[in-house]
Each structure stands twice: as C-alpha cells, then as structure tokens.
Amino acid sequence: YYDALDKTSLGLIEARVDTYAGIVFATWDNDAPSLEAYLGDARWYLDTVFNRRDGGTQALGPIKWLEPVNWKTLVDNCSDNYHVPTSHLSSARVQTRFIGRPPLSHEDQFASPNKHVFVNGHSITFRDADDNAPRYVHGVSKETMHLFQGYHEATIQEVERRLGTLRARRVQLGNHSIFPNGILGLRLALPRGPLKTEFWHFVLVDRDAPEELKRVIRIGSQANNGAAGLFEQDD
C-alpha cells in the first residue's frame, strides 16, 4: 500500500506469539497461559520428534485439500490408535514395510504396546519401541531400511545427549493431536465452515538428515497420509 495504509486506525488486535521447536503458536486470548504451560507435560513426548537433533526439524510442503467434514472429526480421528486395526488393517497389510513378515491379524494390531496420555486437552499415543529400531515409519521398506538404520546409528548419541536414554531409545510417538487443531507430526485441520475443513499436510524431517533419506520419507508420507494416500482414504 506504499505506506498509505494506517494500521493504527483499523482497530487490529495484536496476537500473543510464542514458539516451540520452531513451530509458531498464536492466541488472541490475553488470559491464556504461557505456551510452556499450555503444552505442559505433552512436551516430554513431543520432544522425541520435534527436538531430537541440534539442527531441529524441517517441514516439507504443505499439501492442501478440502474435506466435507467438521474439523473436530478429523482431529478426533487422528488422536487415537483404536481405529487403526479396523479402519487401516487392509492398508497396513500391503505396506512395503510389512512385506515378507507374517500376515497382520486384527488381534495382532490391537495387541501392540501402545499407551495413551491426555494432557491439557492434547492427546498423545506412544509405544515402548525396540532400543535399536529407527524412529521413522513412512518410507521404510526392505529396500530402504539400511538408510533408516544407518541414520539411527549415526545420530543416536546426539539424541541421547538431548533427550536421555529412555526417550531416545524407547519412546516412539504415535498418533497425537495438539489442542485444538494440530495433528500427527505436523498437520492442521482448518475450519472453513460447519462441514468443510481445509487440511494442511506437512512432512516433518530432521533438518540435518541426508537428502536421500528426506526424499524417501516424503514419498512414503505422501503415499500413506497425503491427499491420495492409502491411509487417508480409510480415514
């Protein structure tokens, strides 16, 4: 507007802004708690994804699409593991990371060692993972496992220094949502009407990860949870 727009005359309200792990949060509520208090103990779990490495994370994307559904339904759907064995069993059985393993049964899926934590309205699921298992899921296959395993072994000492042995080696974050509309890794459910939601899907990677690994994770994430992903169609 070439300095012709007088912002002071528009009655604009300045939002309170803070960041966690490079993610920007904002609120217009002057009485809201600090971001640290708002996230609370959920940070202990979120750090296992968002604060693993010194270089931080990088968000690729986003992919955007519209869905004919209320935004709260999407958040609720991405907040639990209970729907996975029923809604996603057929998709899980054809994933490349399961090829060559015994067939997954409904009971096998429900027997997984997943735990559920609720903090300040946030929903966190996690599992007690194998000490030496890579933490990424998307993009893992027989052909790419060496990339994930090599990266895990090359970075585990740094991650242990930042998070401690328990979180670095055993705690693996699963489905989760950050109240009110942050979902699963880094996705946003943005209301566009009572029965319309704009979905933003970012692919989260470690900023200092090898480019080849980033590419594999990006393609795997799109194949599973992108607009045309196998899992996304079930949801």
**DSSP label of 12:** P
Mean pLDDT of 18-44: 94
Positions of E strands within the chain: 16-20, 23-27, 57-67, 114-119, 122-128, 171-178, 182-183, 187-193, 196-206
Q: What domains does the chain contain, in order, with CATH numbers?
A: 40-234 (3.90.380.10)
What is the DSSP code string of 64-110?
Answer: EEEESS-HHHHHHHTT-STTHHHHSHHHHHT-GGGTTSPPPPHHHHH
Structure tokens at 98: 């399961």
Model pTM score? 0.85
β-pairing verdict for 196-206 and 171-178: unpaired
**What pLDDT does 101 receive?**
58
Confidence band (pLDDT; 50, 70, 90) for 2?
A: confident
**What pLDDT does 142 receive?**
82
Percentage of the chain beyond pLDDT 90 is: 52
Give the tens place of pLDDT for each residue, 120-129.
999 988 888 8
Q: Is the pLDDT of residue 102 over 70?
A: no
**What pLDDT does 117 receive?**
85
Confidence band (pLDDT; 50, 70, 90) for 166?
A: very high
pLDDT top residue among 140 and 59:
59
**What pLDDT does 105 receive?**
62
Nearest Cα to Cα of residue 184 among 210, 203, 206: 203
Give the tens place of pLDDT for each residue, 115-159.
788 889 999 888 888 888 787 778 888 889 999 999 999 999 999
Q: What is the mean pLDDT of the chain?
A: 87
Give the tens place of pLDDT for each residue, 167-195.
999 988 888 899 999 998 789 999 999 99
Mean pLDDT of 192-214: 96
Structure tokens at 221: 């994430």
Mean pLDDT of 225-232: 86
**What pLDDT does 109 receive?**
57
